[in-house]
Every structure is written in structure tokens, then in C-alpha cells.
């Protein structure tokens, strides 16, 4: 039916299930609804996802791919910064807690390369993050784990609005 189930599990910490199910299969919509695109729809963008957890990279890649976005993944900060130097991206998602180079350092490095690319920090610590440190590190948005499909799409929309203002 065109849906998918994504599972992320970590022993001793729990399991997250993300269900993406299409709605209205076979239902006809009134013509006026078909003619107006949603205000939140975003054109296809190129996204770099930097996370040391393969399951998070896979979930984000699949979620973003269902909306037509091009996703490139990197398994650590060094690889992500190298990819960013050599390729063009519209948005970067980076994990906060990674070995060797943290998300804070990734944010600083990316903003030095291109200050106009929005960076979204992926973290299990949520809004507990220090706003001043976020600003110093070039972090524009935060997405808390566990995240859902709608949250990720909303962050993309906010990032593109932010990029237009930069």
C-alpha cells in the first residue's frame, strides 16, 4: 500500500518504531484541494546526514527519501565535513554525541565553509541544549530523539525558510 515501517533498537535503551502509512488511498479529493499545494511543502533539497549510528542514518535517509529529497550520509564528523567540502548541500543534520568530533565541532567547521547552510542538531537531550553554545557552534535547529516523520519534515521546512533569510 506504499507505506513503510522503520525500527531503531538499542539493547537496554528501548526500541523506536516509525510507521509511515499513506492516507486516503483511493479516495477522491475535491478539485479545490487538489489545486492548492500545502504551505509546508518544500522543493526537493540535498541533505547531508552525519550520525555514527547506522540505524539513525538509515531512518532519516528513508524518511527524507519518501519526500523526494536527495540524502547523502556520513558515519562520523570527519567524513561529514569532507563530504561537505566536496559537495553542495542545502541542509545538514548532525548528531551531537559522536566519537572524536562532536556535533558542536561539526557545526563550527561547516559554518566556516558555508555559513548560509542551515544545520539541524539531532540529539536525545532535546531542548536542554545551551542556546548560546548552539549559536557559537552554528546550530540553527534541534530535532530530538526519538523523532517522527512529521517532525523531520517540519525541520526541513524551517531550515529552508531560514536559508532564504540568510
Asked if residues 160 and 42 have their Cβ atoms less than 8 Å apart, the reply is yes
Question: Which residue segments constitute the domains of the chain, with CATH numbers given?
Answer: 43-165 (3.40.50.2300)
pLDDT, tens only, 10-46: 788 888 777 666 555 444 444 444 433 344 556 789 9
Q: In the numeric block, which cell numbers belong to residue 8?
A: 531503531
Read off the pTM: 0.73
Q: Are strands 4-10 and 14-20 parallel, antiparallel or unpaired?
A: antiparallel
Q: Report the alpha-carbon distance of residue 86 to residue 22 in Å, rounded.
A: 36
Asked if residues 138 and 158 have their Cβ atoms less than 8 Å apart, the reply is no
Asked if residues 93 and 103 have their Cβ atoms less than 8 Å apart, the reply is no
pLDDT, tens only, 154-164: 899 899 888 88
User: Cα-flanking dihedrals φ and ψ of residue 24, to 5°?
Assistant: 65, 25
Q: 79 by DSSP, 3-state: which?
A: helix
pLDDT value at residue 134: 85
Q: Report the alpha-carbon distance of residue 22 to residue 148 in Å, rounded.
A: 15
Report residue 132's pLDDT band, with 50, 70 and 90 as the boundaries.
Answer: confident
Q: Report the alpha-carbon distance of residue 165 to residue 25 in Å, rounded.
A: 37
Amino acid at each position: 500500500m506504499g507505506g513503510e515501517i522503520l525500527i531503531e533498537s538499542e539493547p537496554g535503551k528501548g526500541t523506536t518504531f516509525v510507521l509511515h502509512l499513506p492516507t486516503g488511498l483511493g479516495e477522491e479529493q475535491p478539485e479545490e484541494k487538489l489545486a492548492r499545494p500545502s504551505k509546508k511543502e518544500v522543493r526537493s533539497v540535498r541533505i547531508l546526514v552525519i550520525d555514527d549510528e547506522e540505524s539513525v542514518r538509515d531512518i532519516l535517509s528513508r524518511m527524507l527519501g519518501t519526500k523526494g529529497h536527495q540524502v547523502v550520509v556520513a558515519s562520523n564528523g570527519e567524513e561529514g565535513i569532507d563530504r561537505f567540502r566536496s559537495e553542495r548541500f542545502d541542509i545538514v543534520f548532525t548528531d551531537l554525541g559522536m566519537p572524536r568530533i562532536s556535533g558542536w565541532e561539526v557545526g563550527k567547521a561547516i559554518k566556516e565553509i558555508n555559513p548560509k547552510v542551515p544545520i539541524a542538531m539531532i540529539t536525545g537531550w532535546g531542548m536542554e541544549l545551551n542556546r548560546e553554545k548552539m549559536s557559537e557552534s552554528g546550530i540553527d535547529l534541534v530535532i530530538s530523539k526519538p523523532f517522527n516523520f512529521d517532525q523531520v519534515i517540519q525541520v526541513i521546512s524551517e531550515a529552508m525558510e531560514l536559508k532564504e533569510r540568510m
